[in-house]
């Protein structure tokens, strides 16, 4: 579904990704893990067009994303739950979700998607007119995921959905990711919570200073020596 070939990207003269190769197949759940500053967020931002590609290629279902303007990426079925959630803080939950269905393709399905999301997150339904900035961290994360799901994406990019949440809520978030992929959605998730994320994905990539160091089946990676070495205490 998503294919990255020798992808290079960065901020101005600072290069953050060094020829990254990565593939996400239809229906898979993939994790990208790695230490702080490895370039995981940069990777997701490049995929969704927030950062320009410097060299290399990336394509979604065979269409190259390189010349697609950033605001058209969502039309190709890619939705992005950004790092730190990035809700519109002074808008209500419902308005935030409405923004998720902004594209002309998504608008006709607004009601039906809203039902779907309220089903997934009953809490959001209860608080639909609450201002997003006043929600708890967990609720905000739900709202952010809900917002991304509003466009009925094929591929969901998630950037550290468990960051800053209490352990109980973290478990809920991972359950939710499981639930989402059970519905047939392809997921590319960036996580620091390595142990937990490896239990719900099929494959994973380990990223360090801008390039992929190891990749493989989630089950094998858990056993991997080098991963253990890199993350003492696992």
**Which residue's CB is nearer to ligand ATP, number 36 or number 183?**
36
Min. distance of Cβ 85 from ligand ATP in angstroms?
Answer: 13
Q: Whole-angstrom Cα distance, residue 10 to residue 133?
A: 31
Q: Is 37 in the site for ligand ATP (CB under 6 A)?
A: yes
- Of 180, 152, 193, 229, the C-alpha closest to 40 is 193
Q: Whole-angstrom Cα distance, residue 214 to residue 38?
A: 13
**Which residue's CB is nearer to another protein, number 100 or number 161?**
100
Q: Return the H-helix or E-strand segment holding 170.
A: helix 167-182
**47 phi and psi, to 5 degrees?**
-60, -45
Q: Is 186 in the site for ligand ATP (CB under 6 A)?
A: no
Residue 63's beta-bridge partner residues? 60
**Which residue's CB is nearer to ligand ATP, number 166 or number 209?**
209
Binding stretches for another protein (CB under 8 A): 48-50, 69-75, 79-80, 82, 86, 88-91, 95, 98-103, 106-107, 147, 151
- Of 1, 97, 87, 82, the C-alpha closest to 42 is 82
Min. distance of Cβ 175 from ligand ATP in angstroms?
Answer: 22
| Count of beta carbons in the 10 Å neighbourhood of residue 60 | 19
- Of 130, 97, 131, the C-alpha closest to 115 is 97
Min. distance of Cβ 83 from Mg ion in angstroms?
Answer: 5
**Site size for ligand ATP (CB under 6 A):** 11
Q: Is 41 in the site for Mg ion (CB under 5 A)?
A: yes
Query: What distance lies between CA 213 and its chain's CA centroid?
Result: 20
Which residues in 138-157 contact ligand ATP (CB under 6 A)?
none
Q: Is 38 in the site for ligand ATP (CB under 6 A)?
A: yes
Q: Which residues contact ligand ATP (rule: CB under 6 A)?
A: 11, 14, 16, 34, 36-42
Q: Which residues contact Mg ion (rule: CB under 5 A)?
A: 41, 83
């Amino acid at each position: 579904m998503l294919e990255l070939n020798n992808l290079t990207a960065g901020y101005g003269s600072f290069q953050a990704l060094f020829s990254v190769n990565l593939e996400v197949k239809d229906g898979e759940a993939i994790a990208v893990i790695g230490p702080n500053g490895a370039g995981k967020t940069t990777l997701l931002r490049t995929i969704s067009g927030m950062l320009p590609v410097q060299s290399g290629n990336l394509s979604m279902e065979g269409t190259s994303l390189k010349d697609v303007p950033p605001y058209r990426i969502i039309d190709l079925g890619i939705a992005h739950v950004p790092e730190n959630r990035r809700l519109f803080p002074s808008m209500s939950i419902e308005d935030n979700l409405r923004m998720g269905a902004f594209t002309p393709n998504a608008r006709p399905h607004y009601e039906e998607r809203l039902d779907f999301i309220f089903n997934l997150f009953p809490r959001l339904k209860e608080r639909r007119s609450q201002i997003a900035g006043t929600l708890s961290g967990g609720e905000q994360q739900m709202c952010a995921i809900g917002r991304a799901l509003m466009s009925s994406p094929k591929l969901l990019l998630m950037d550290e959905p468990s960051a800053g949440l209490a352990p109980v809520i973290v478990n809920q978030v991972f359950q939710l990711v499981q639930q989402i992929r059970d519905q047939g959605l392809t997921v590319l998730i960036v996580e620091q919570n390595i142990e937990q994320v490896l239990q719900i994905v099929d494959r994973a990539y380990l990223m360090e200073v801008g390039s992929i160091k190891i990749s493989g089946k989630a089950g094998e990676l858990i056993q991997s020596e080098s991963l253990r070495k890199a993350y003492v205490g696992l």
